[in-house]
Amino acid sequence: MSADPVGLYRTVRLIRRFEERAIDLVHAGTIVGGIHPYLGQEGIAAGVCAALRADDLVTGTHRGHGHVLAKGADPARMLAELCGRSTGLNRGRGGSMHAADLGVGVLGANAIVGAGGAILTGAVWARRRRGDDVVGASFFGDGAVNEGMLLEAFNLAALWRVPVLFVCENNGYATTMPVAGAVAGTITGRAEAFGMPATVVDGQDPETVRAATAAAVARMRAGGGPELVEARTYRFDAHHTFEHVVRLDYRPPDEVAAGRARDPVEIQGARLSTADRAAVDAEVEATLAAAVEFALASPDPDPAGALDHLYASGLVARTGGG
Amino acid sequence: MPRLSYRRALTRALADELTRDDAVFLLGEDIRVAASNVTSGLLKRFGPDRVIDTPLSEQAFTSFATGAALAGLRPVIEFQIPSLLFLVFEQIVNHAHKFPLMTGGQCAVPVTYLVPGSGSRTGWAGQHSDHPYSLFAHVGVTTVVPATVADAYGLLVSAIRCDDPVVVFAPAGALDLRADVSDLDPVPLGRGVVRRPGADVTVVAVGHLVHDALAVADELADQVSVEVFDPRTLYPLDRDGLVGSVSRTGRLVVVDDSNRSCGIAAEIIACVVERVRLAAPPRRVTRPDGAVLPFAPALDRAVQPGREQLRAAIQLTMKDG
């Protein structure tokens, strides 16, 4: 949430190390179901959220850890959620793909591609109707720009001038489908068709993302309508942690090497003094060591409460047995 | 006593809730001019900030409502035809319904989905004549099908006040009903009602079919004492009320204007036979498996459950034991 170089570095470094620790926990069998690593894309969440206020709203994706952390969620409770513990952000009911922290404006990671755009548009519209001058940022991948509902959401947001920044994280692949094989026209062209300003930024540079977002947020908060940012990035690792098991082969090794060469953690880290960088690294390690300890020490949820919270009205589902 | 139509009872419920709670607002297609004749007069009374016409973007505006609910409002969406629910099933079931649990109780999604004219409107054919309430009951989304004028008012009011998503199916076959009503009150969700007491057989009828069941019960009055039970809410189903009725009569016939396989009639029978030893096998009168309503009026009627089938089912059930 910080705009200073050290703050931006702290966020990308936190996300990076969070993901690496989480992958360790997947391999250890502690996190079941696996995760969709955000490695390589950290600059986008960090840059966008640095330009938002604490009360602004975001929706994330199934690759959503970075969005939730960058918006200010507690890494310890986030990790506990991934481990399915009762102390998790969602009390172990959401897991990696549904992590949500409404208290810091995160309306949820979302496992349905493109689903967050319309939800966020409604939420921001509702808050502004109440007089709050909040804006929103909805993250989605390049695959989502072919989902009809997201395009419907573009139309609603533009028509009703709802200040939502649509942030396309174009990492080149929708699971294994390359952008060139999936997207007719251009991503920014989709926004322009609805009269929305759209820009392409280097998603590997947190400062660039932050600056572009800050400019868009300033326009939106002053009464402008929605905008789109296409952040070009590269996913360093697999689509999901099971990908290595099934041995998918769809990215040329030289492309992966070139992608990994532009590392947002290094790009931002190079802007810090050695001492500052070392201090942040140590701070992040301590935070994550505490997070792992917290998550592993936390109790599993009581199976008797498996359907707790299903109904906000207090309705209780029948049991399935007997 | 003032005479009120079913359709106007819905209008009055919307107006009363818009008045009572600033968080309530309406959105939908052509609702400002009340193309369905349900939102008549509401734009003039409540203004364009509370009665909002949407573009033809069902999936987006359904999730837009979810977002507005997450931000503290209580949206009511009017769907012009029941088949649109197939289009937005994902948005209701995968998001609105799942968010409270998936977030560990961090949020509520109080959206009402109002479907006036559900089921057959003669001549509207295959893509406008479904009655998909069983789908929502299966998922566990609160699902109501008011049969009477007073219930149209009372169940819609309760749906809007409910903190969970609720789908309100107002059957096309009930929209033109009129009744003398003096007091209109909220009707609790999840509670059925015995519309006509009887001793020999319980007929469970859903929505507009309650009136057909009552007519058949009258026709058969000199042969069989028929109790008519109106569940009113299909999820959560009033199992205790249902079991209480069938325990008294010992026989069960269900009449339900949705498709047979995995339909609500099957659930009603199952939950009764789990708890009651019946004097005769239960029967259900429904649309056929996988039915698509044909266009020609005679074909449309042939697919919907009718009074003759119900009468025959009651008589067979009496003969069986």
Identity of the residue in B57, B90, B164 whose CB atom sits nearest the CB atom of A152: B57
pLDDT band at residue A247, thresholds of 50, 70 and 90? Answer: confident
B 72-91 → A contacts, CB under 8 A? 72-73, 75, 90-91
A 11-70 → B contacts, CB under 8 A? 57
Cα of A66 to nearest chain B Cα, Å: 17
Q: Whole-prediction pTM value? A: 0.96
pLDDT of A322 > 80? The answer is no
pLDDT band at residue B1, thresholds of 50, 70 and 90? Answer: low
pLDDT on residue B203: 98
Q: Residue B200: count other Cβ atoms within 10 Å of its Cβ.
A: 18
| A107 near B CB under 8 A | yes
B196 within 8 A of B225, measured Cβ to Cβ: no
Q: pLDDT (tens digit, 9 = 90+) per residue, B98-116?
A: 999 999 999 999 999 999 9
Note if the bond before B236 is cis, omega within 30 degrees: yes
In Å, what is the CA distance from B159 to each residue of A125, A132, A231, A321, B176?
23, 28, 42, 29, 21
Q: Residue A147: count other Cβ atoms within 10 Å of its Cβ.
A: 17
pLDDT on residue B212: 98
pLDDT of B321 > 90? The answer is no
Identity of the residue in B54, B73, B104 whose CB atom sits nearest the CB atom of A309: B104
Alpha carbon distance A12, A18 (integer Å): 10
Q: To the nearest whole percent, how much of chain B has pLDDT over 90?
A: 98
Of A114, A111, A123, A110, residue with least CA distance to A151? A114
pLDDT band at residue A245, thresholds of 50, 70 and 90? Answer: confident
pLDDT of B293 > 80? The answer is yes
pLDDT on residue B2: 77
| A90 near B CB under 8 A | yes
pLDDT band at residue A223, thresholds of 50, 70 and 90? Answer: very high
Compute the average pLDDT of residues A31-59: 98
| A306 near B CB under 8 A | no
Q: Mean pLDDT for chain A?
A: 96
Q: Do B67 and A129 touch (CB under 8 A)?
A: no
DSSP conformational letter for B235: E
B202 within 8 A of B116, measured Cβ to Cβ: no
pLDDT of B195 > 80? The answer is yes
Alpha carbon distance A316, A82 (integer Å): 26
In Å, what is the CA distance from B2 to each residue of A98, A186, B177, B252?
51, 61, 14, 36
Alpha carbon distance B249, B225 (integer Å): 9
pLDDT on residue A3: 61
Compute the average pLDDT of residues B128-139: 97
- The first and second tokens of residue B86, run together, are 């197939």
DSSP conformational letter for B128: G
- Which element (helix H / strand E) includes B257? strand B252-259
Contacts of A309 in chain B (CB under 8 A): 100-101, 103-105
pLDDT on residue A246: 84
pLDDT band at residue B196, thresholds of 50, 70 and 90? Answer: very high
Please classify residue B279 by burial: count the beta carbons closer than 10 Å to its beta carbon, then call 0-12 exposed, 13-18 middle and 19+ buried: middle
| B108 near A CB under 8 A | yes
Query: Which residue in this structure is represented by tokens 């939502």?
Result: A164
B209 within 8 A of B230, measured Cβ to Cβ: no
pLDDT of A2 > 60? The answer is no
Contacts of B94 in chain A (CB under 8 A): 112, 115
Alpha carbon distance B18, B20 (integer Å): 6
Residue A175's φ and ψ, nearest 5 degrees, are 55, -95
Alpha carbon distance A120, A152 (integer Å): 13
pLDDT on residue A1: 47
Alpha carbon distance B99, A100 (integer Å): 10
Q: Do A90 and B162 touch (CB under 8 A)?
A: no
Identity of the residue in A107, A149, A315 whose CB atom sits nearest the CB atom of B59: A149
pLDDT band at residue A233, thresholds of 50, 70 and 90? Answer: very high
Alpha carbon distance A59, B226 (integer Å): 54
HSE value, Cβ hemisphere, 13 Å, CA-based, for A182: 18
Residue pairs spanning A and B at CB distance below 8 A:
149
What's the distance, Cα to Cα, between the start and end of chain A in Å?
51
Q: pLDDT (tens digit, 9 = 90+) per residue, A57-106?
A: 999 999 999 999 999 999 999 999 999 999 999 999 999 999 999 999 99
Compute the average pLDDT of residues B152-174: 98
For helices A274-297 and A75-82, angle between their N-to-C axes, nearest 10 degrees? 50
Q: Which residues of B are catalytic?
A: 128
Q: Produce one character per residue of B306-318: b if its CB has 16 or more CB atoms within 10 Å, e if not.
A: bbebbbebbeebb
Q: To the nearest whole percent, how much of chain A has pLDDT over 70?
A: 99
Contacts of A82 in chain B (CB under 8 A): none
Compute the average pLDDT of residues A149-173: 98
Alpha carbon distance B67, A122 (integer Å): 4
Of B273, B218, B284, B220, residue with least CA distance to B250? B273
Residue type, B205: A
